């Protein structure tokens, strides 16, 4: 046999070396499904009689080595069928591990989950230096754990602490990070992957560390205990996959080869139990919603191929948000003109851009050279230069409608009729902006609302006015997707979607303080509920003056459920504005925050009671948003709240939370 091609891979013998190329003929990426395992099994079977002296596994896809299990096909299996699928994957990968030949995984692109499990079954791994190369185990983020041998092989390769850190965080490493932890042996330019893999096959096998000092059963038990305490403190026990993975991985490290089978069985049993849990259902649902949001069309009637791509942009206002948006846009290779009212402010903005690129270098996102090249894509200006060549302009100047109206009239005069003009306003009426004096072609005006900090927050609200054309919306969606963010389309209405749902919850938390419930208790209740931060800490972060301003705008639009309690007004008038002024609901002193004590009643309500009351505020407002058609469906609300506010992902979002409560009440 010299060459054999099936629908998901091909096997070729080149100068005595078997080259297995992963290349799913039916889709743009490679995934592990039943057919993949069948074809892989057959290819490995053929190797025995091929006389090959080594095996290289690589991918023919542009950006993917092997992106993990096909969750759609895995999700359709239950019970015995699922158990058999896990066993099969373990066996096929184990048959690679047992080959009496040198084996090298030559990784370019996403090598995640099941993809990494395949790579771990090889004796050596090398990876391309490309940005597309991402290596990791995202399973715990979906409420699962690696169960095709990954939870067993990783601690044996890296030692328990590093393996746990990778599996429990779900982190995806670039080639540099993967080399640093010992996951891959070498980094190679993409074009040289095969040549280098062949050279490794012809060289000596590397000696691997045994990790005795971290993996022996005594140390492993200590690591397990202390990690368990940390996990419980951090997650309040809401994410069972983390505890389960900790248990399985920490017992796998020192198993002699004979007990690999026992470790595989623990992986399989744990997976089968986790997959039935509510948490896993919600996390997988959110994963699919996010995938859907990446490709969802606003209007199928628009021929998106005829729309101009965004090749050149401008950002007006070089403050916190403007510099963040400019940096993120340049980081994706799109040139940006960054403008502000004078040279000093532009220079300040450029400093922030440079700082954000430095941070990206520290986080191994870019090499120093790449960061410099990308930074050069941001051009500063304080002059009213022509914007005719810009495809998209994002205004991120001060939150003042009159200022924004002037800026937009000026933008209309300086840009071409087809330039999309977007505002990053948090709460101002975009329709009014689009209808104001001096505006030409209001159909190209909309909101592109980023969240702070831009580099970390995945959600972007695309805010559509009654005048915005579907083409403009599709162009904005395409731009946001190029940035790698998740867009949710919302109707222009005060607070849009996320801030509108958040506001009554924050106001209600402040009202509870006024009624005598302690600050610490309220925030604790919502941390226990699964929010990343308590509502009163969040109010302090936003700034009590800013929150008060937004709440009064929304009271004018929607009525008293947004009305600010007198306590908030009082704190603001005393200059207690939250973190930025050193005091608010907390006192801030050298990075420590102490909850302030207001009048506390003797009878404090239970934590569950508080959480229920506050979570209900969000769910009620979410339902109103749906009724008013601010957003297309309940799923979009859940996704936006999880990505935009960190709403407890395991609860699935405010709509899902409410529907589960209603179902329970009905049974
Ligand atoms: P900022 O105060 O940090 O920056 C505003 C910048 O706009 C300043 O540098 C100012 O000199 C500049 N500016 C003012 N008038 C201008 C004009 N006529 N032309 C050009 N530049 C002008 O404000 P920040 O926080 O960056 O907010 C900007 C916008 O983004 C606001 O509309 C705000 O509501 C919105 N936003 C803010 C978020 C936040 O967390 N800070 C989150 C999401 C949206």
With the most atoms of ligand 1 within 8 angstroms of its CB, the residue from 322, 351, 438 to mutate is 322
CA distance 63 to 29: 8
Residue 257: the pLDDT is 57
Q: Where in the chain is the domain with CATH 3.90.226.10?
A: 2-284
CA distance 124 to 136: 16
CA of 395 to the centre of ligand 1 (A): 8
With the most atoms of ligand 1 within 8 angstroms of its CB, the residue from 317, 399, 455, 550 to mutate is 317
| Residue 172 DSSP SS3 | strand
Mark whether 449 is an active-site residue. Answer: yes
CA of 321 to the centre of ligand 1 (A): 6
Task: Say if residue 197 is exposed, middle or buried (CB neighbours under 10 Å; 0-12, 13-18, 19+).
Answer: buried
Contact 614, 525 (CB under 8 A): yes
CA of 548 to the centre of ligand 1 (A): 18
Does the domain at residues 500-666 carry the CATH identifier 1.10.1040.50?
Answer: yes
Residue 206: the pLDDT is 83
Q: Where in the chain is the domain with CATH 1.10.1040.50?
A: 500-666
Residues facing residue 64 across a β-bridge: 110
The superfamily in CATH containing domain 307-491 is NAD(P)-binding Rossmann-like Domain (3.40.50.720)
Residue 358: the pLDDT is 97
With the most atoms of ligand 1 within 8 angstroms of its CB, the residue from 323, 347, 398 to mutate is 398
Q: What is the dihedral sign for C-alpha 308, 310, 315, 320?
A: positive
Neighbours of 414 (CB within 10 A): 16
Neighbours of 14 (CB within 10 A): 13
CATH number of 2-284: 3.90.226.10
Our answer on whether the CB atom of 319 is closer than 6 Å to any ligand 1 atom is: yes
Q: Where in the chain is the domain with CATH 3.40.50.720?
A: 307-491
Mean pLDDT, contiguous 10-residue spans, the chain (667 residues): 77 94 94 95 91 96 96 87 96 96 97 98 96 95 97 96 97 94 96 96 86 85 95 93 97 74 96 95 96 94 96 97 98 97 98 97 87 97 96 96 97 96 95 97 98 95 98 98 97 96 97 95 96 97 93 91 93 95 93 87 92 98 98 98 97 97 89
Residue 62: the pLDDT is 95
Helices (H) and strands (E) in the chain, counts: 27, 21
User: pTM for the complete prediction?
Assistant: 0.92
Which one, of 438, 436, 432, lies nearest residue 410 by Cα?
438
Catalytic residue among 449, 549, 590, 609: 449
Residue 2: the pLDDT is 61
CA of 340 to the centre of ligand 1 (A): 10
Our answer on whether the CB atom of 272 is closer than 6 Å to any ligand 1 atom is: no
Residue 213: the pLDDT is 82
Our answer on whether the CB atom of 407 is closer than 6 Å to any ligand 1 atom is: yes
Our answer on whether the CB atom of 215 is closer than 6 Å to any ligand 1 atom is: no
Our answer on whether the CB atom of 345 is closer than 6 Å to any ligand 1 atom is: yes
Our answer on whether the CB atom of 321 is closer than 6 Å to any ligand 1 atom is: yes
Residue 32: the pLDDT is 96
Contact 396, 321 (CB under 8 A): yes
Q: How far is CA 461 from CA 107, 293, 456, 488, in A?
A: 35, 12, 15, 5
For the record, the structure tokens of 142 come out as 């979906």
Q: Which atom from ligand 1 is nearest to the alpha carbon of 323? A: 26
Gyration radius of the chain over CA positions = 27
Residue 394: the pLDDT is 98
């Amino acid at each position: 046999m010299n060459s054999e091609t099936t629908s998901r891979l091909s096997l070729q013998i080149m100068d005595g070396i078997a080259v297995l190329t992963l290349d799913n003929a039916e889709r743009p990426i490679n995934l592990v499904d039943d057919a993949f395992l069948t074809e892989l099994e057959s290819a490995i079977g053929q190797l025995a009689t091929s006389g090959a002296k080594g095996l290289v596994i690589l991918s023919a896809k542009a950006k993917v080595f092997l992106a993990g299990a096909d969750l759609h096909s895995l999700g359709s299996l239950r019970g015995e069928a699922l158990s058999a699928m896990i066993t099969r994957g373990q066996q096929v990968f184990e048959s690679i591990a047992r080959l009496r030949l040198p084996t090298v995984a030559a990784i370019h692109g996403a090598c995640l989950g099941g993809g990494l499990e395949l790579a771990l079954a090889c004796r050596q791994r090398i990876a391309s230096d490309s940005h597309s190369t991402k290596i990791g185990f995202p399973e715990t983020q979906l409420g699962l754990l690696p169960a095709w041998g990954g939870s067993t092989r990783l601690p044996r390769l890296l030692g328990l602490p590093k393996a746990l850190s990778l599996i429990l965080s779900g982190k995806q490493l670039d080639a540099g990070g993967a080399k640093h932890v010992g996951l891959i042996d070498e980094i190679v330019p993409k074009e040289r992957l095969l040549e280098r893999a062949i050279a490794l096959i012809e060289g000596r096998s590397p000696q691997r560390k045994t990790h005795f000092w971290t993996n022996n059963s005594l140390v492993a038990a200590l690591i397990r205990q202390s990690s368990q305490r940390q996990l419980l403190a951090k997650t309040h026990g809401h994410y069972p996959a983390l505890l389960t993975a900790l248990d399985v991985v920490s017992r796998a490290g020192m198993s002699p080869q004979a007990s690999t089978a026992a470790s595989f069985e623990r992986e399989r049993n744990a997976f089968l139990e986790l997959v039935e849990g509510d948490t896993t259902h919600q996390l997988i649902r959110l994963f699919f919603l996010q995938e859907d949001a990446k490709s969802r069309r606003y209007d199928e009637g628009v021929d998106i191929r005829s729309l101009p791509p965004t090749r050149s942009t401008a950002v007006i206002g070089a403050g916190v948000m403007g510099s963040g948006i400019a940096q993120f846009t340049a980081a994706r290779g799109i040139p940006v003109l960054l403008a502000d009212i004078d040279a000093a402010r532009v220079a300040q903005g450029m400093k922030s851009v440079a700082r954000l690129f430095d941070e990206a270098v520290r986080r191994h996102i870019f090499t120093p050279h790449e960061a410099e090249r990308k930074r050069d894509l941001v051009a500063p200006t304080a002059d009213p230069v022509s914007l005719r060549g810009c495809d998209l302009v994002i205004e991120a100047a001060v939150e003042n409608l009159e200022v924004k109206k002037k800026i937009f009239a000026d933008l209309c005069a300086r840009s071409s009729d087809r330039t999309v003009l977007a505002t990053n306003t948090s709460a101002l009426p975009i329709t009014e902006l689009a209808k104001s004096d001096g505006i030409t072609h209001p159909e190209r005006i909309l909101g592109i609302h980023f969240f702070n900090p831009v580099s970390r927050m995945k959600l972007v609200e695309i805010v559509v006015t009654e005048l915005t054309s579907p083409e403009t919306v599709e162009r904005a969606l395409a731009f946001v997707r190029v940035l790698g963010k998740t867009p949710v389309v919302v109707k222009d209405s005060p607070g849009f979607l996320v801030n509108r749902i958040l506001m009554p919850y924050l106001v209600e938390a402040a009202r509870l303080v006024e009624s005598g419930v302690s600050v610490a208790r309220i925030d604790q209740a919502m941390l226990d509920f699964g929010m990343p931060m308590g509502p009163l800490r969040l109010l302090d972060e936003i700034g009590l003056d800013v929150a008060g301003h937004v709440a009064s705008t929304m009271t004018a639009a929607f009525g008293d459920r947004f009305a600010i309690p007198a306590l908030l007004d009082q704190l603001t008038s005393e200059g207690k504005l939250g973190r930025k002024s050193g005091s608010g609901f907390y006192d801030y002193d050298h990075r420590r925050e102490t909850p302030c004590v207001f009048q506390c009643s003797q009878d404090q309500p239970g934590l569950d009671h508080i959480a229920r009351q506050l979570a209900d505020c969000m769910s009620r407002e979410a339902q109103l948003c749906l009724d008013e058609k601010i957003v297309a469906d309940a799923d979009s609300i859940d996704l936006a709240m999880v990505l935009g506010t960190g709403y407890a992902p395991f609860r699935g979002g405010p709509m899902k939370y409410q529907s589960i409560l209603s179902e329970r009440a009905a049974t």
